Structure 1
Amino acid sequence: MKTRKTTAVVATAVVLMLGASACNGSKDDNGGGKGGNGGSGATDAALTSIVNPSDKAGGTVKIEMSDEPDSLDPGNTYYGWVQNISRLYGRTLTAFKPAAGKDGLEIVPDLAEGLGKPSADAKTWTYTLKKGLKFEDGTPITSKDVKYAVERSNFAPEALSNGPTYFKAHLAGGDKYKGPYKDKNPDGIASIETPDDSTIVFKLKDAFADFDYLATYSQTAPVPAAKDKGADYVKHIVSSGPYKFESYDAGRGATLVRNPNWDKKTDPIRPALPDKVTLRFKVKQETVDSNLIADNITVDGAGTGVAPATQPDVLTKPNLKKQTDNSYAGATSYLGLNVNVKPFDNVHCRKAVQWGIDKASVQAAQGGDPKGDVATTLLPPTVNGYTKFDLYESAGHKGDEAKAKDELKQCGHPNGFDTKISARSDRPAEMAMVTAVQASLKKIGINADIKSFPAGKYFQNFAGNPSYVHSNKLGMIMMAWGADWPTGFGFLDQIINGSAIKPSGGNNIAELNDPKINKMLDEGIANTDAAAREKTWGEIDKAVAEGGTMVPLIYRKNLLLRPVSATNVTVTQAYLGMYDYVLMGSAK
């Protein structure tokens, strides 16, 4: 398949799969339907419909969360919740349609007039921008602003290290271009062409069948070069969306207000109903939950659900349970074993961990069934390309002590060994999981010393920083990962591809750089046959499992709680099963 129909077929397959998965929750007898015309507010109503629909403008959407963002800069972020929120102030070439249920996985034009026009070999993609687009200061948005946004976000790790580097990996000449802060050539990278102010052309070194998905990424949100301050751009982000920053306080929060130069005529997908959106960071998770229950805030920005301590109360009180939505997150929690930290350079030491972990205890620790199912693969069942297998199968997912100890003998540590394991200190469920991992490994002689770090700096300074990992012998790293877009490549590439290893802010925490796996990824995304491409993702997943570098733990689910005053509430699978923040409003 060599036209943009390729993307549409992939999306359709994913939609059907996700639609089936969403049905695992309680049925909403009064809601449902395409686009969500209603929604009773019953348990799981927001999985397939819009709860408390409203077209009333005004009010304030209040967002709180327990940690802080890696960055609110659309070009310097990798957290799914920031991608979700950034759509309020950053428009992209294409976008996932803000809609209920399966309709929320449809890719639609945003800044562009239509979806990308690929060449026959899918190596060249062309987009034409809409007329009348403006930044918050009234200056026109041009194709050069989109090009510059891609250049700064993908080619300047010295200033912007948090986001993915798909463009760098796939653009022709991407391995040579040094980025706009070092390369002062005003024309920038040659493989992104802007023949006029409305046209942008991406020339790739290889075929990339998922490019319309990549164009939804916040890295295509335009940035005026004259206003860019590198890492400090986050202090004065120039809006292209319906809201702009009234204030920003690093590590504490921000306030968004209406952008007077946003034009609804060019942006039919964003309702932009609230007058204001407030963000508050570093609020204890239990406090966030209490504020949701008391209807003091609109949404938990992290989108990962209530804390384990809150969950029993929510599930046993009928009036609260009906305000919950137990969504699949399209994400997997797993344990990365860094191949450059001894003894995990030895495959048998890695396999000892695979056999030694009691996954059932990890599932119980993070909240039981409502928070996720035991995982045996990296790819979750809701992502295109998932193939069911279990190379380390044990009774009741409790591990196999005998096989674990046999692997320890083969790796030269018959009595076990000492290591360190990291987790995010401000994520209660992850801390509960890492404690369970520690306890089960101790039974086979592996003593894992827990090191906890704040989520906002977890990848930049610690777990995603190879220098820190090596010098501190951080051999085991807790991780949760959701697809950048809902295909196998969108899930796997940035966590297993050798090209994704970065000096800081990286997500290939195992530092896996297997030539065979790298080649499989490259050949898979270049294949314009959708069925063959889908099959490849499952094969790659199994190849990773055979090397033992990553231990799948939980296919994550979110036990979300919507307060009574929240309007237009619906779950989006495009953003890891959290609520769609573009649609949400408040009756207050």
Structure 2
Amino acid sequence: MVSKTRAVAAVGAVVALGLTAACGGNSNSDSKSGEGKSAFNAAITSVVNASEKKGGTLNLWSSQDADSWDPVRGYYAFVWNLNRLYTRKLMDYAAAPGEAGLKLTPDLAAAEPEISADKKTYTFKLKPGIKFDDGTPITSKDVKYGIERVFAQDVVPGGPSYLIEHLDQGQKYPGPYKDTDPNKLGLKSVETPDDTTIVFKLAKPFGDLPYLLAMPGAGPVPKARDTGAKYGEKPAASGPYMISEYAPGKSLKMVRNPHWDASTDTIRKALPDAVNLTITTNAEDLDSRLLAGTADLDTGQTGVQAKARAEILQDPKKKAYSDAPTTGFIRYAAMSTKVEPFTNIECRKAVIYAADPTSLQTARGGPVAGGDIGTNMLPPNIAGSDPQYDPYGRLQGKPQADKAKQALAACGKPEGFNTIIAVRNNRPAEIKTAEALQAALGTVGIKATIDQYDGAQVASVTGSPDNVHKKGYGIIIGGWGADWQTGTGYMQALVDSRYIQKNGNYNLAEISDPAIDKMFDDAALQTDPAKAAEIYKQLNTKVMEGAYYLPFVFDKALNYRNPRLTNVYVHDAFGMVDFQALGVSDGK
């Protein structure tokens, strides 16, 4: 998904990893820079319509509701983006387009953390004058309590739980609701010696810790206002806005937080007086409203529908207010190494060579709205990536039937074989890619049957290895974006054997390679971003050599923005417009 660094040089090296993560950049040949002027893809590299004007209402629309407005439970990318409006964290991503936005910067913290010589202790000091929306001061204990809620997976499940792995350390901490500590602050690895100091003590070095602390679930929560599973209905606000009304499935309204102090916040502009989110199930109607100017932006940022896409690309005036950034996702097919004949690497290679890169790209929406042809398994916004690394010659844009047949012979299936492609039934683009892949495989004798399963049941269908084996799913269509912008944040869930789960598994290929697992351990020890990037580069090579995944595209999405919007830019950490920066030029 998304996520995405001093006083001493080593600390700067740790957190600077975010800044260097975008070295691959977005390959958008039509991109125009030039601060202030709108043009196609201008918001990818610059701030469009820069302004400090305050007032008016930002009218956002979405084709789906949040999974939760509780910072610890929300996991959708657009929810993390909106969360920046009402939740602050110790660290957060800088407010800037391009690679500068991938740099972590202090938010509630007064400065970057002080890191011990052994890289296992992180000490943060809080800024003075930071308050919740009810006027109570935000203390280190509120930050710790918010983090402790991550551990309460029985009460507030759904969000990322990476912090448990690094902070539990054998304590088996149950979360604050079952905490026997009278102050409900019993997590031993996090200390709060005073109200402005919070200390994280790790069992072993983990250079990506600041990224985990920049996730919404690491935001402060006042214990007195925690309503457990219902907290998402009215979460405490530490950012410039607070939720005033919420009608599930219909709308959300935010108004200014009267106790937010702009002098303590170097990230958020807080230009509109109010932010309204209207939720609809009609994506085409949403597109019509965007083009008519009655909606400002689609928060999903996954791209307009085909009808609107054609209208935008054929009208130069409308195209000038649209962008098609690289989202940070890769769309791909995984081949299960536990389902025959994909236990054999040559059979996996046969699928890769037989696939038609251009037809798969077209199925995703073409080079503008679908993405660049995928060549490997590390997205362009991750340090160590190289979109030109193309071990299977996919940039040729055509199938390689001769190599596919050679691979089939090598795996003992010269006449081809039968397999099943599993794809979600609620993702039209994924279904189209499954069909395109099916057609290409058929030309070399690989007979693939498509099984469209209930897309709401991913965790128990393709996310259950036992079910995958039972159903005989040889090929699984999927997609993935980083929870935070490093090779670990992107690839670990997909390729590390220690992340194979009985349910909710994303290592769909069931890769079990100690050499790959060790590379993640080696990267965790690095404080030099260049050295970490080199490890991720080697890791990507190792994964591609194993032929576990067939990358379709480095994903792009064509989105339209209302001409009245100010301070528009694409934030590389989210792969979408940075909502917190937006204003409206007409003050309405």
TM-score (norm 1): 0.88
Other-structure match for 2:49: 52
Amino acid at match of 1:14: A
Deviates more, 1:558-567 or 1:338-347: 338-347
SS at structure 2 position matched to 1:574: coil
SS at structure 2 position matched to 1:361: helix
Tell me, in whole angstroms, the C-alpha distance in 2 between the residues paired with 1:460 and 1:137: 39
The structural deviation recorded for 1:315 is: 1.1
Q: 1:324 to 1:452 in 2, by over 3 A?
A: farther
SS at structure 2 position matched to 1:575: coil
1:120-158 Cα shifts (integer Å, max 9, x gaps):
2322111111223222333332222222322322x3444
Other-structure match for 2:541: 542
Is this contact kept in 1: 2:22–2:382, CA < 8 A?
A: no
Runs of 4+ in 1 over 6 A off after TM superposition: none
State how many pairs are aligned: 573
Other-structure match for 1:35: none
1:385-409 Cα shifts (integer Å, max 9, x gaps):
1144333335834333454455556
The structural deviation recorded for 1:521 is: 0.4
Tell me, in whole angstroms, the C-alpha distance in 1 between the residues paired with 2:475 and 2:545: 18
Which of 68, 82, 93 is 1:85 aligned to? 82
Other-structure match for 1:36: none
Q: 1:487 to 1:369 in 2, by over 3 A?
A: same
Other-structure match for 1:313: 311
TM alignment of 1:266-415, pairs within 5 A? 266-340=264-338, 344-371=342-369, 372-387=371-386, 388-393=388-393, 396-405=396-405, 407=407, 415=416
Q: 1:230 to 1:446 in 2, by over 3 A?
A: farther
- The yes-or-no answer on 1:106 pairing with 2:103 is yes
Q: 1:269 to 1:157 in 2, by over 3 A?
A: same
Tell me, in whole angstroms, the C-alpha distance in 2 between the residues paired with 1:525 and 1:177: 23
Other-structure match for 1:27: 32
1:532-559 Cα shifts (integer Å, max 9, x gaps):
2111101111222233332211012232
1:51-104 Cα shifts (integer Å, max 9, x gaps):
223323232222223344333322123332221111111111111121344432
SS at structure 1 position matched to 2:58: strand
CA RMSD of aligned residues (A): 2.9
Is this contact kept in 1: 2:497–2:510, CA < 8 A?
A: yes
Which of 195, 203, 207 is 2:201 aligned to? 203
Tell me, in whole angstroms, the C-alpha distance in 1 between the residues paired with 2:497 and 2:382: 22
Other-structure match for 1:171: 167
Tell me, in whole angstroms, the C-alpha distance in 1 between the residues paired with 2:86 and 2:260: 10
- The yes-or-no answer on 1:3 pairing with 2:10 is yes
TM alignment of 1:135-154, pairs within 5 A? 135-153=132-150
- The yes-or-no answer on 1:533 pairing with 2:538 is no
Name structure 2 gaps, 5 residues minimum: 1-7
Tell me, in whole angstroms, the C-alpha distance in 2 between the residues paired with 1:256 and 1:467: 44
TM-score (norm 2): 0.88
Other-structure match for 2:447: 446
Is this contact kept in 2: 1:64–1:300, CA < 8 A?
A: yes
The structural deviation recorded for 1:416 is: 1.9
Is this contact kept in 2: 1:314–1:321, CA < 8 A?
A: yes
The structural deviation recorded for 1:166 is: 2.7
Tell me, in whole angstroms, the C-alpha distance in 1 between the residues paired with 2:231 and 2:472: 34
TM alignment of 1:569-584, pairs within 5 A? 569-576=568-575, 578-584=576-582
The structural deviation recorded for 1:196 is: 1.8
1:225-250 Cα shifts (integer Å, max 9, x gaps):
44444444323322222222223344
The structural deviation recorded for 1:292 is: 1.2
Tell me, in whole angstroms, the C-alpha distance in 2 between the residues paired with 1:249 and 1:475: 42
Q: 1:67 to 1:406 in 2, by over 3 A?
A: farther
Tell me, in whole angstroms, the C-alpha distance in 2 between the residues paired with 1:543 and 1:382: 19
Q: 1:176 to 1:471 in 2, by over 3 A?
A: farther
SS at structure 2 position matched to 1:233: helix
Deviates more, 1:59-68 or 1:317-326: 59-68
SS at structure 1 position matched to 2:325: strand
Tell me, in whole angstroms, the C-alpha distance in 2 between the residues paired with 1:331 and 1:191: 33
Tell me, in whole angstroms, the C-alpha distance in 1 between the residues paired with 2:341 and 2:209: 39
The structural deviation recorded for 1:182 is: 4.9
Amino acid at match of 2:570: V
Identity rate, percent: 39
Is this contact kept in 2: 1:270–1:583, CA < 8 A?
A: yes
Q: 1:428 to 1:9 in 2, by over 3 A?
A: same
